[in-house]
Amino acid sequence: MKPWTTAVRPFAFSLAALMAAGCAMTPQTNNSLESARSTYRLAQADPQVQLRAPVELQLAERSLAQAERSWKDGAEPAIVGHHANLAEQRARIAMKMADLKAQQTERGWVVTLRSELLFDSGRASLKPGAEKALENLAQLMKRQPEREITIEGFTDSTGSEELNRRLSEQRAQAVKQALVARGIEAHRIDARGYGPAFPVASNDTPTGRQLNRRVEVVIAPEPRTSSAGGATGR
């Protein structure tokens, strides 16, 4: 843990100069430093911060190391305080940045549509009644231009597995086409059919089978590349 030496050299000169000038006071304690230590420890102990804001955390660590060093060297309390403030603020930035990235990258949604709402039994063409819901979904996607969606079709286990798989695929494709027709870019939408795989309920009862006949719309988290703008590094 030595990389800060190069970064702080210019300031070390001024510190040395200060001390040479005879500002010799040796305070017993430094509140700013105490506060910076505990805020840094908080950030450092959080695995989310380590994972998502390593650059900010490292900057905080450097500032804290410098504060500790100037403290040990008996620098002016105000100078120690300055570095401690930088360290504390950077630790807070690291924690906020981790929150931000978690929000931007990790949240996704699943909307489950029951097949009966969208399709007649055994068919893959959308019912007129599905109109409004698809329009809403399209509007939602327009307001979230960064997000991609996956449309997954499922059936119950009645009948041929291969036919079911194909039906579920055609239904997913029909939903995709409806969204494309409403102005959503085709490349943002992935459509697949899984047939009777991944049931959410028992296929032994009518209610269970009804729950299994479904289309799931998975709204993906925002892509990582769009997160945090240009203010992360430095």
Partner 1 sequence: MTEKAALKLASAAALAAGLGACATTPPPTEQLAAARAMVSQAQPVAASDGALELHTARTKLARAEEAMRRGDHLNARIFAEQAEVDAKYAWTVAENARAQRAAAELDRGIRTLRDELERGTR
Interacting residues with partner 1 (CB under 8 A) = 10-11, 13-14, 17-18, 20-23, 32, 35, 76-79, 81-82, 85-86, 88-90, 92-93, 96-97, 99-100, 103-104, 107, 109, 111, 113-114, 116-117, 129-130, 132-133, 136-137, 139-140, 143-144, 219, 228-231, 234
**What secondary structure, in 3-state letters, does 79-93 show?**
HHHHHHHHHHHHHHH
- The minimum distance between CB 231 and partner 1, in angstroms, equals 5
Considering the complex, state which of residue 35 and residue 157 has its C-beta at the smaller distance from partner 1. 35
**Number of residues assigned to the chain:** 234
Cα distances (Å, whole numbers) of residue 32 to 15, 65, 72, 79: 18, 13, 14, 10
Cβ proximity to partner 1: between 25 and 204 the closer is 25
In whole angstroms, the minimum distance from the beta carbon of 120 to partner 1 comes to 14
State which residue, 13 or 198, has the beta carbon closest to partner 1: 13
Query: Helix (H, G, I), strand (E, B), or coil: what is residue 148?
Result: coil
Closest residue by Cα to residue 150 from 193, 203, 94, 107: 193
Task: Give the H or E element holding residue 212.
Answer: helix 206-212
Whether 133 and 158 have beta carbons less than 8 Å apart is answered as no
Shortest spacing between CB 168 and partner 1, in angstroms: 18
Nearer to partner 1, 19 or 201 (CB): 19
